[in-house]
Chain A
């Protein structure tokens, strides 16, 4: 309890100092945090705001005239202490959309429930064994009138309105709503400083401790989701993430809102950013489908 209060105090102190000392290092030098402090507030590296930094990647798609691209650092996984390589541009219609938490909630709930098939089934009075015969005469016995010993009123009888058989909870949200959910999740990750862009997933050793140490040193959070395009990944990163529960790697087609919310931090490669921008921006300029998009069109993304 004392450690928790110390953590909260440390965090609030750090927050106050972050707000007052903008641009410099977040915590003052004479602040001594105890070594067993849980959850030190992450020291935010100042977001690239100056326009003189060379931009290493520009957006392929056209950006609307009234919007400016979002910018963030390009990092490298090569060594634990490597500095950011530069600044990359991110399309504002994917990474700075208005944060509709209701859409995010709807997409998350849909993702959980549309696959659900509940197998709960109980026997009704017709299915319970026995109960075909009237237990006693209608009149004369002095007992209540009954037609079968398996009616829902009876102990051992069937259930009147119970769950009936495998039932599905399948429904589909409109495609554009699901796409907007992805965009909002990406925007939220960027806004909360949990999005990291990486040039490639090459790491020097297949040692899991290297990656854990890197994540801890850079204060990326407790869990990391790594996203890359294509079916070939470097062997080292695959070996490292194979047995780790908190650091996971997925291809870019597998990106979904639930995974993004489950993992604290999101790491995208430059190719993954290009792929996501292409796929997500197409939905803003497409026709309504003449026939399902599974069939060929001349210019699908």
Chain B
């Protein structure tokens, strides 16, 4: 008698809970509340994710409007080669130490680095009238020149087609 009363009260409680959950707007499932689930809008998130690779610049015949000059399609027929940096620029950099020691760094050199060294020295002799001291590092493929010549060297290398 008491067991049947208990079981009856349990079923009544369970029915009441289910009915409460179905009719209470906070606990009804999303679909029954009138929402449509869709994953197509994820493309708006995907297009915000940035790329990791630096894009190759579009083909320009001659200088671009910004002043950037592309490397020549065929590498110049010299015993050395100077690659572009990863941002497609000529790898000539200016450096200062202790506020008064200026130098120019020429990086990413492949091939006969001493031929390039001679070339650079001759060019700067013609430009300034004296031969600047240079430091050639064969292992890393760099040349460090005393003095600030980055603009002139960049123009010279661009004219050569590097």
Interface residues of A (CB under 8 A from B): 64-66, 98, 100, 102, 282, 284-287, 289-290, 293, 296-300
Q: In the complex, A66→B80 CA distance in Å?
A: 10
Give the top 6 A-B pairs by smallest Cβ distance, nearest first: A66-B75, A297-B52, A298-B49, A66-B81, A298-B51, A299-B51
Indicate if the CB atoms of A287 and B52 lie closer than 8 Å.
yes
Indicate if the CB atoms of A285 and B51 lie closer than 8 Å.
no
Chain B interface extent, by class: 10 to 19
* CB-CB under 8 A for A287 and B139, given A65-B73, A66-B75, A66-B81: no
- Flag whether B61 is at the interface (Cβ < 8 A): no
Indicate if the CB atoms of A282 and B49 lie closer than 8 Å.
no
For the complex with contacts A100-B140, A286-B53, 12 further pairs of A-B residues with Cβ separation under 8 Å are A66-B75, A284-B86, A286-B86, A287-B51, A287-B54, A290-B50, A297-B49, A297-B51, A298-B46, A298-B49, A298-B50, A298-B52
Indicate if the CB atoms of A286 and B52 lie closer than 8 Å.
yes
- Flag whether B121 is at the interface (Cβ < 8 A): no
Indicate if the CB atoms of B53 and A287 lie closer than 8 Å.
yes
- Flag whether B100 is at the interface (Cβ < 8 A): no
Residue of A nearest to B111 (CB): A66
Q: Which residues of chain A are near B140, meaning CB under 8 Å? A: 100
Q: Can you offer 11 A-B residue contacts whose CB atoms are under 8 A? A: A66-B75, A100-B139, A284-B86, A287-B53, A290-B50, A297-B51, A297-B52, A298-B46, A298-B52, A299-B52, A299-B53
Q: Is the interface of A mostly helix, strand, loop or mixed?
A: loop
- Flag whether B17 is at the interface (Cβ < 8 A): no
Residue of B nearest to A293 (CB): B52
- Flag whether B141 is at the interface (Cβ < 8 A): yes
Indicate if the CB atoms of A65 and B75 lie closer than 8 Å.
yes
Q: In the complex, A66→B51 CA distance in Å?
A: 28
Q: In the complex, A100→B142 CA distance in Å?
A: 14
Indicate if the CB atoms of B54 and A285 lie closer than 8 Å.
yes
- Flag whether B7 is at the interface (Cβ < 8 A): no
* CB-CB under 8 A for A297 and B74, given A66-B81, A98-B139, A285-B86: no
Indicate if the CB atoms of B50 and A297 lie closer than 8 Å.
yes
Q: Mark B66-92, 1 if CB is under 8 A from A, else 0.
A: 000000011100000101001000000
